[in-house]
Structure 1
Amino acid sequence: MTVTVLSGEHVSGAMPEPTYTLKPLAADLPSAVSLTPADEVVPRCYIRHLYFYRNQAHTDDFMPTTKLVSALHRALELYPLVYGRIHCRPDGRLELRHGESDGVPVYVEQAAYGFEVFGRSWPHAQTPAGLEPIGEVVPDETLPLFLVKITRLHNNEGVVIGTAGCHNMMDGHSIEILLQAWAAISRGALPDAPVLDRHLVRVTGQPQFRHPEFRWMHQAIEPPRHFGPLVLFHISEEKLAQLKAEASRPLIAEHQPSSVDRDTYARLSADVAWISTNDALCALIWRATIRARQLDPRHTTNLSIPIDARGRFKPALPSNYFGNGSLGYEATDEVHKLVSHPLSYVARLLRKQQQDTGSAAFLQSAINYLGTLPEHHRIDHPFAALTGVDFLITNLRSFDFYDIDFGYGRAMQFRLPHDLLSVAAYIVNMPSSPDGNAGDGVQIFIGLDADSMNRLCKDDEFNRYATMIG
C-alpha cells in the first residue's frame, strides 16, 4: 500500500497492525453510497482530535481498554457507514463502498510518561507526538474512514484518546455526536441514533448566485506547504469582552479622505447592526497574521471560515445528521486596507459577508453549483483552498470537547495534532473545571512559519488581548 502524505511525498509501506479491528456486527450494509457535494468539496484529510482524561481518584480500573473497545463496537452499529472506504468513480464523484476486509482499527499503546510531560500550563509544544492514530495523509480506497488510538499513561495516571475521521465522510460535528454515542454506551446509557440519509443534501437545480468562494477549483493549484508546529494562545473572557467592544466601535466615514472608503464605511455601517465575538476574534487573528507574514500591501487576500449550516438550510438538516453539514464563507480585501483601517472595519466586513452568504438560498445555490460541475473541475488536491496568501480560521467553540464522559469524568484537556497543514487558526474553548464550570475564555491554535510566528508574538494589537501558552 502507498500512503500519500499531504506534503506531496509518498511513503511506501503498510499501516501498522492495529490492536483491534472492529468489523460490522450486521451483514446488511449498503454496497455503495454516493457522497454529497458538501462531502466532496472539503479537503481530502482526516479530522484528528486528542482527548485527555486524568485518573483523579487513582482507581485501578480507570477506563478499562476492553470496556472502551466494546462500547465503541456497539456505538459503530449506529454508524455503519464508517466501516467502508472512499472510492472515486469514473465520473469524478466520490462514493462509499463496503468490502469484506473493511473495518475500524483501534490501536492501544502503553506510554512511558505521565502528565508531568505536559507542564503546568500545557504548552502545545509539549504534547507528545504519536498520540493520534494516523498522520496527515490523504484518505484513499485503502485507508479506514475512522481510526482510534488509546494511550494509557504511566502508572495509570490517565488515558489519551486519539481519533481520526475522514473529512469526506464526516465533519467535526459528526465526529462529536459519534464520540458522544460511544461515551454514552460506555456509561451504560442509550444514545440517540444519527441521521445517515445522504439525500438530505442534494442538488435541486441550477445555482442562483455566483460562487467566487470556489474559484480555486478552476485554477492551477500549488502544492500545499508545511509550516512550523502549532502555537497555542489564550484570550480570557475579560479580554474577549474588551476585544468585542473595540471591534464594535462605529465607523466614521467622514474621517476617511477617500470617497471610495467613505462609501464603504457608510455601507458597512448601514448593513451591519451588530458584531459577534467570533467576528471580533477572526478580525484580530486575520489582521495580526497578515502583519506577521508581511504580505504585499498591494495584494488581495482571502479568509475562509467554515460554519455549521445544518440549521441554515430549508428545510433544516437534523442536528444529528452524520455527514458534512458545513460550508464556508469567504471574505476578501486588499492587504493594505485590512491593516490600515480599524479593527471594526474588518469585523464588519466579516459580519457582512456571513450575512450575504449564510442564507438558505445561498447555501442551496452552493450545493447546486458544486453538484453540477463537470468532471474536470472535481477536486483532485487535498488542501487546494489553503495556498498562497489565503488563511483559514475554524471556530470550534460550539463543540463541547470536554463533555465527552465515558463514565470516569469529563475530558480535562483537548489538543490538535502537531502536523496540521497550511496557514490556519483553530479557536477552542478553554478547559472546563472538574465540576463542569466553563473555562476562562478561549485558546487559539495558530500555524505559521517560524519567522512569521516570531513576528506574531511581538504584534502590539494581538498582544493586547492574547497571551502565548506555547
Structure 2
Amino acid sequence: MVTVLEKCRISPPQDHSVAENLLPLTFFDLVWQNWPSLSRVYFYDFPCSTSELRQTLVPRLKKSLASTLEHYFPFCGNLIIPTTFSDNATAALRYLKNDSVSLTIAEFSGTSSAGFEHLSADHARDVNELFSLIPELPPGDTDHASPVLSIQVTLFPGQGFSIGFRNSHLVADGRTMFNFIATWASINAKQLKSEDDFDTIKTLPFYDRSVIKDAKGMTSNFLKIGLQIAQQISKASGPATHELDLVQETLPYVSTFVVVCAYVWTCMAKASIVLANEIDDENEVLEHMIIAIDTRARLDPPIPSNYFGNAVSPCKITLNLSRLRGQEGFVYAAKEIKEALHEQINNDEGVLRGLDTIFDDIEAMKGQKIFGVAGSPKLDYYSTDFGFGKPKKYEVVSEKFSLAASRDSSGGLELGFAFSKNEMDAFTSVFTQGLIK
C-alpha cells in the first residue's frame, strides 16, 4: 500500500562528549524482555502535493527529529542483552557516537478508497493496512545488540501524512514514548516559528537510574528468568475504534476508566458465546485482565514524570467467566476492577507489591484467557501538534484493546480493538446492543 521514497538515518546534531553511554535496564524494563515491539500511528490533515510535502514537511521533520534526539539520544542506541546469565551479567541501552534512528519516508500508493480517510477513520480496517504505515525495527549489528526505535512518515498527496512508530518495550513504556513524541512535536512547532528555547519543554527526559530502588534484587532475577523464556506471539487483525461518553449512574464514585474496562470485559465474555466458544464447566473458568499502573508518582519517594524508561507495575484482576456473562456481570466486573486497583495502589507494601513474583503468576495463568489495556486516558495524544494542528487520528496498532482520551469530546474516551474478523463482528454486536439498552 506504500512506496518507499527514502530511507535515512537521523543522528543528534552534536555528539556527546563521551564515546560510549550506557543506560542500565531496571527490573521495570526487564519485565518486558520477551514482549513484542509496540506500534502506534498518528494521522495529520495536511493537504499538499507530494513535491510540497517532500520539499517542506519532510526536511522540517528531519531537522526537528535530530534536535529531539539530542535530548533523547538513547533512542539512537542499541539494546545490549547478554546471551547467558552470570552473577555480574547486566543489560543496558548503549549509545555510541554517531548512532542514529532509522527514518523511512514513504508515499501511499493504494487505491483512493483505502487511503487517508479510510485509514484514519473509526470503522474496522485490516490491521495490515495500518502496519504498512509502521516500519520494522532494523536488524542489529550482532546477535545481542538491537535497535530500539524506528519511524516512518507516510505522505498522502492532497490529504495529509501519518507518522508511525515502532519501539522496543524493553526501553520505553507508554509515558516515555508519549513524552518523546510530544517533545518532537514541540520542537518542530518551535522551529517553524524560529524559536529555540527547547530547554523549557516539560517532556525532556530524566535519566538518573538511582531513583529506582531494588531492595529485592528483581533486576538480576528478572534478567535470569527472561533469558530462559521463549514466547510465541501471534498478531490479531481488524482494528476498530469506538467512542464512549460514560456517566456513572449505576456505580457512583467509579472512574470512567473502570467503567470502560468492565464493559469491554463483559462484552468480550458474551461475544465468546456468539462465537460458540463455550466451555463445559463454566463455573471453574477464570479470566484475567492486566492493567499497567504508572508508578512514577506512587513510588516512595516519587520519581519525575519525565523519567526515561519503564516505570509501570501490573495489577491483575481475576474474574469468573460465568459471572461475567451473567445479568450483573458489568457491575461485578466494575466492582472487582475498582477494588483491585485501590488495593494495588494503597496497600502497606506499596504499588510494587507482587511484582517480584510476576513471572510465577504468568506461568500459573498459562492456558487461561488474559488480556491487557494499552494506552491511558491521562496521556493527551491529541495534543501532539507538530505545528500543523492536532492529529486527526491516533491509533495503537499492536494491542488488542487500547484507549485514549477522545479528540473532540471533553471527558470522552476512544477505544481501539484488534480482533479477527469473526471476533470483531461478534464483539461489535454485543458492544452496540449493550449501549442501546
Shift of 1:277: 1.1
For residue 290 of structure 1, give the secondary structure of its aligned residue in structure 2.
helix
Q: How does 1:36-435 map to 2 (within 5 A)?
A: 36-42=26-32, 44-55=35-46, 64-89=57-82, 90-91=85-86, 93-99=90-96, 102-112=99-109, 117=115, 118-119=117-118, 121-125=121-125, 127-134=129-136, 141-155=144-158, 157-188=159-190, 189=195, 190=198, 191-192=201-202, 193-205=204-216, 223-227=232-236, 229-237=237-245, 240-241=246-247, 244-246=248-250, 248=251, 274-293=253-272, 294=277, 296=279, 297=282, 298-340=284-326, 341-359=328-346, 361-366=349-354, 369=356, 388-417=368-397, 420=398, 424-432=400-408
For residue 304 of structure 2, give the secondary structure of its aligned residue in structure 1.
coil
1:205-251 deviations in whole A, cap 9, x for unaligned? 479xxxxxxxx989988733333x133242332xx12xx323x17xx
Shift of 1:76: 0.7
In structure 2, relative to structure 1, the CA distance for the partners of 1:73 and 1:165 (3 Å cut) is same
1:254-302 deviations in whole A, cap 9, x for unaligned? xxxxxxxxxxxxxxxxxxxx31111111111111112223353121111
Shift of 1:161: 0.8
Shift of 1:102: 3.6
For residue 323 of structure 1, give the secondary structure of its aligned residue in structure 2.
coil
Shift of 1:451: 3.4
Question: Which runs of 5 or more residues in structure 1 are unaligned?
Answer: 1-15, 208-215, 250-273, 433-437
Shift of 1:330: 0.6
Q: Is the 8 A contact 2:76 2:99 kept in 1?
A: yes
Decide which of 21, 26, 30 is 2:15's aligned counterpart: 26
In structure 2, relative to structure 1, the CA distance for the partners of 1:394 and 1:73 (3 Å cut) is same
In structure 2, relative to structure 1, the CA distance for the partners of 1:345 and 1:218 (3 Å cut) is farther
Shift of 1:347: 0.5
1:83-132 deviations in whole A, cap 9, x for unaligned? 21112233365322234674211111122369762349542406554111
Shift of 1:186: 1.1
One-letter code aligned to 2:232: P
For residues 143 and 75 of structure 2, the distance between their equivalents in structure 1, rounded to whole angstroms, comes to 14
State how many pairs are aligned: 395
Shift of 1:52: 0.9
One-letter code aligned to 1:125: R
One-letter code aligned to 2:46: N
For residue 457 of structure 1, give the secondary structure of its aligned residue in structure 2.
helix
One-letter code aligned to 1:323: G
Question: Which runs of 5 or more residues in structure 2 are unaligned?
Answer: 219-224
For residues 136 and 464 of structure 1, the distance between their equivalents in structure 2, rounded to whole angstroms, comes to 44
- Over the aligned positions, Cα root-mean-square deviation in angstroms equals 3.8
Q: Is the 8 A contact 1:29 1:80 kept in 2?
A: no
For residues 245 and 86 of structure 1, the distance between their equivalents in structure 2, rounded to whole angstroms, comes to 48
In structure 2, relative to structure 1, the CA distance for the partners of 1:20 and 1:363 (3 Å cut) is same
One-letter code aligned to 1:146: L
Percent identical residues: 18
TM-score (norm 2): 0.78
For residues 97 and 416 of structure 1, the distance between their equivalents in structure 2, rounded to whole angstroms, comes to 27
1:305-362 deviations in whole A, cap 9, x for unaligned? 1122211111111111111121220101221222224421210100111111123833
In structure 2, relative to structure 1, the CA distance for the partners of 1:276 and 1:170 (3 Å cut) is same
Shift of 1:410: 1.3
Aligned residue in 2 for 1:10 = none
In structure 2, relative to structure 1, the CA distance for the partners of 1:122 and 1:409 (3 Å cut) is same
For residue 75 of structure 2, give the secondary structure of its aligned residue in structure 1.
helix
Q: How does 1:458-469 map to 2 (within 5 A)?
A: 458-459=429-430, 463-465=433-435
One-letter code aligned to 1:236: L
Q: Is the 8 A contact 1:85 1:145 kept in 2?
A: yes
1:358-395 deviations in whole A, cap 9, x for unaligned? 2383324455x26xx9xxx799x9x9989641121234
